[in-house]
Amino acid sequence: MDLSRKQFTILEKLATSRGSFTQRDLERETGLSLGTVNKTVKELSELGFISEGAITNEGINALEPYRVKRAVFIAAGFGSRLVPITFNTPKPLVRVHGVRIIDRLIDACLEAGISEIYIVRGYLSELFDQLLYKYPMIKFLENPAYNIANNISSALVARYMLSNAYVFEADLLLYNPKIIKKYHYTSDFLAIKKQRSDDWCFQVKDGIIIDEKVGGEGDDIWQMVGISYWNSADGHRLSQDIAEVYASPGGKERYWEQVPLLYCRQHYSVEVMACSAEDIVEIDTFSELKAIDKIYDV
């Protein structure tokens, strides 16, 4: 059966936390009113999904359609804005405080129970082999067009892996692994609420992304973070739409997320998933890298 959003919220909290919860606990942890918690817990108990404040095996089974099955990392680019460090090292493999950037993202996936992991590689592709010593479960996808097309070419290579899947830009410095969730109610894109942004951002209405653009200001502006989740139906649709946009005039110059958020937006309803600037950082330039890790400031 399909879960309501409130049912999902409570089951997800019980499934990803240890121990049992009182209804007061659930009110505090979920942000739902106590009355809503009481009503929803009663529904879930009658369905056999909750017993004595804890999730049952039937409840875990009910969450299965919402579980993230795989993660796809877009990691084929040059990282040109991080030169000179990327002359010999792909940006995701650059170490910050001794740890490769991509390692933090992979570790967060594994912590969330996501072990089917694909990395789309291109520039200095052979250097990604070193990841196999620590992460033998990784599978590589080769992007032969990484030097002549934008990152939509990486999405094209991975287009059949996008159902029930996270898609990561592989060069994001993750500080809070808890923003990587085991379960998602629907397709969503991580973003940071801003009053003003000069970066890529979303315009959001009623929690749904209605536009993507560079720069914006106002109460409906969220700065894009390059981590998204795609449910089963949207993932299957993306496999078609990405190929069609890529083959269209100028398609190779597109960013992959413009497919669902701009060029084919009528096919999708993508929610914004809130995070904070303290959770994750994109290192755009070498000067930003030096400011974060003084070992590079020589």
Residue 78: what are its φ and ψ, rounded to 5°? -80, -30
The tens-digit pLDDT sequence of the chain (298 residues) is 699 999 999 999 999 987 778 888 888 888 899 999 999 999 999 999 999 888 999 999 999 999 999 999 999 998 877 888 888 999 999 999 999 999 999 999 999 999 999 999 999 999 999 999 999 999 999 999 999 999 999 999 999 999 999 999 998 999 999 999 999 999 999 999 998 888 899 999 999 999 999 988 888 899 999 999 999 999 999 999 999 999 999 999 999 999 999 999 999 999 999 999 999 998 888 888 888 988 887 7
Residue 226: what are its φ and ψ, rounded to 5°? -80, 50
Q: What is the DSSP letter of 17?
A: S
Count CB neighbours of 198 within 10 A. 11
CATH superfamily of the 69-296 domain:
Spore Coat Polysaccharide Biosynthesis Protein SpsA; Chain A (3.90.550.10)
**Residue 94 in contact with residue 86, Cβ under 8 Å?**
yes
| Cis amide bond preceding 84, omega within 30 | yes
Q: Are strands 54-55 and 50-51 parallel, antiparallel or unpaired?
A: antiparallel
**Residue 92 in contact with residue 171, Cβ under 8 Å?**
yes
The two three-digit tokens of residue 174, written as one number: 């993750």
Query: Which amino acid, one-letter code, is at 246?
Result: Y
Q: What is the DSSP string of 34-55?
A: HHHHHHHHHHHHHTTSEETTEE
Ramachandran area for residue 40 (φ above 0: left; ψ -120 to 50: alpha; else beta): alpha
pLDDT of residue 158: 98
**Residue 184 in contact with residue 229, Cβ under 8 Å?**
yes
Could you state, in order of their start, the residue ranges of all structural domains in the chain? 5-65, 69-296
Token pair 């809070």 is at which residue? 176
CATH match of 5-65 with 1.20.1730.10: no
**Residue 194 in contact with residue 223, Cβ under 8 Å?**
yes
Q: What is the DSSP string of 86-143?
A: GGSS-GGG-EETTEEHHHHHHHHHHHTT---EEEEE-TTGGGGGGHHHH-TT-EEEE-
pLDDT of residue 1: 67
| Among candidate residues 11, 133, 122, the one with its CA nearest the CA of residue 63 | 11
